[in-house]
Amino acid sequence: MVKEMEQTPPAMQETTDGASQWLTTKIKSLIKDIPVDVTLWDKRHILGGIQPATAHITIHSRIALLKILIDPELYVGEAYVNGKLTIKGDLVTLIKFWGSRDVNDRPGLGYQIRKLIFDIRANTLSRAKGYIYHHYDISNDFYKLWLDKNMSYTCAYFPEPNMELEAAQVAKMEHICRKLELKPGEKVVEAGCGWGALAIYMAKHYGVNVQAYNISKEQLAYAQEQAKIQNLSDKVQFIEDDYRNISSKFDAFVSVGMLEHVGKACYPEMGSVIHRSLTPEGRGLLHFIGRNYPRHINRWIRRHIFPGAYPPTLCEVISDIFEPWNFSVTDIENLRLHYAKTLEHWLVRFEKKTDRVKEIFDEQFVRAWRLYLAGSEASFLSSRLQLFQITFTRGTNNNLAWNRNHLYQMDGLNM
């Protein structure tokens, strides 16, 4: 639960002002299905349609409210970060109710036009570097405050819901290795390796040789140092380069949390990279945030947190990446609730470190990341976002596991 304390709102006041009455009516229509109360700058208090309320919103200016009414997707976040809107109560539940209202709705014409523009806008090498710098190169010290000890910034895997985050992140890496059926001496390529946790884990516990590609300087410096500390520099090669420049042949291709940054226009190119990289019996795994139907990421998130990000549907991935090269999908798993649980852990850890985060950055940064983490957790809980793991291989490969027993035998788990 995320809270910001403020004074208890006064009782609802009657008004005869036409404009004020119109605003009151508009607000009521927005919160009719949400357990929230709203207080305006003039002390009017408006009850939401579901009571008791789990959160209370105060809007501090008429201009802020007008912007929110015009474009809530963008300006709710702007107002919250700038202090024009404050919230007391359960932020995750509030956002979950807000997002659940239109989870089954299809976007209108304006959205479809923006989607077309973004779909045909290629994520070039220079543009990709700028996007990665914006989010991942802000400070390793910042991420160390609230990630697990291995610096895993992707969905954990919780075989038991009450597992600690550290164990769940290790379980995620083990789950991926088992899905890939890694064998000692094999060559593995990882596209987008974060701070290097999975590459190091694969080399250490499965005896494979890994080439890991990343364009984040901060992440690579950390990963290379960790490989040295664990005496694995001869088994893991961290390469500062774009995934599109992967060369040589590999027994396995893995990408965890990177596909969201590729951009839909570049999916055919990614399929080509995978095709030229895998051996005849090569197999792969893509782990990514996705959607049940095509829709771009929240505009506030795109502008301030994840520029260039796009969570694809299964259909988009299969049709644009796999089908042109006759890749066979061997398994699909949806870990949506596991990502919600991961974000719950991250948000609790983040809140414990907000004083330090404020010292590194400022109060607006704290509010922006609080909103981003809470909003992400709410999006997975409300099914606006999914977390897909797809395993695949060449269509002609018959050297496959006969069943899934190997995935769930916990003996020998490298915890």
Burial of residue 162 (CB within 10 Å: 0-12, 13-18, 19+) is exposed
Query: What is 185-206 written as a DSSP string?
Result: T-EEEEES-TTSHHHHHHHHHH
Beta strands at 187-191 and 250-256: parallel, antiparallel or unpaired: parallel
SS3 of 126, please? helix
The strands making up 85-89's β-sheet, listed across from edge to edge, are 45-47, 36-39, 55-59, 85-89
E strand or H helix at 38: strand 36-39
**What pLDDT does residue 121 have?**
54
E strand or H helix at 77: helix 72-81
Beta bridge partners of 393: 283, 328
- Residue ranges per domain, the chain? 18-100, 125-408
Looking at per-residue pLDDT, the higher value among 129 and 272 belongs to 272
By the 8 A CB rule, do 239 and 109 touch?
Answer: no
Query: pLDDT for 58-113, tens place per residue?
Result: 999 999 999 999 999 999 999 999 999 999 999 999 999 987 766 455 555 555 55
Mean pLDDT of the chain: 88
Rg of the chain (C-alpha set)? 23
Cis peptide before 52 (omega within 30 of 0): yes
Beta strands at 209-214 and 236-240: parallel, antiparallel or unpaired: parallel
Query: What is 11-33 written as a DSSP string?
Result: PP-----HHHHHHHHHHHHHSTT
**What pLDDT does residue 139 have?**
85
pTM of this prediction? 0.88
Query: What is 78-118 written as a DSSP string?
Result: HHHHTTSEEEEE-HHHHHHHHHHTTTTPPP-HHHHHHHHHH
**What pLDDT does residue 202 have?**
98
pLDDT band at 3 (very low <50, low <70, confident <90, very high): very low
By the 8 A CB rule, do 311 and 288 touch?
Answer: yes
Q: Which CATH number fits domain 18-100: 3.40.630.30, 3.10.20.30, 3.30.200.20, 3.30.1050.10?
A: 3.30.1050.10
**What pLDDT does residue 102 have?**
61
Task: Say whether pLDDT at 128 is over 60.
Answer: no
Query: What is 258-306 written as a DSSP string?
Result: -GGGT-GGGHHHHHHHHHHHEEEEEEEEEEEEEBSS--PPPHHHHHHT-
Helix, strand, coil fractions of the chain, as percent rounded to 5: 45, 15, 35
d(CA 190, CA 173): 13
**What pLDDT does residue 296 have?**
85
**What pLDDT does residue 297 have?**
87
Query: pLDDT for 298-331, tens place per residue?
Result: 899 988 998 888 999 999 999 999 999 999 999 9
Question: Long-range contacts: 129-136, Cβ < 8 Å, 24+?
Answer: 129/215, 130/307, 131/261, 131/306, 131/307, 131/308, 131/309, 132/215, 132/216, 132/261, 133/216, 134/307, 135/305, 135/306, 135/307, 136/216, 136/218, 136/219
Six-digit token pair at 186? 């094999």
CA-CA-CA-CA torsion sign (388, 386, 211, 261):
positive
Which one, of 153, 187, 156, 151, lies nearest residue 173 by Cα? 156
Task: Say whether pLDDT at 14 is over 90.
Answer: no
Strands (E) located in 202-249: 209-214, 236-240
Which one, of 143, 161, 251, lies nearest residue 197 by Cα? 143
H helices within 145-196, ranges in order? 165-180
Beta strands at 36-39 and 45-47: parallel, antiparallel or unpaired: antiparallel
Does domain 125-408 correspond to CATH entry 3.30.420.250? no
Query: pLDDT for 219-271, tens place per residue?
Result: 999 999 999 999 999 999 999 999 999 999 999 999 999 999 998 999 999 99
pLDDT band at 15 (very low <50, low <70, confident <90, very high): very low
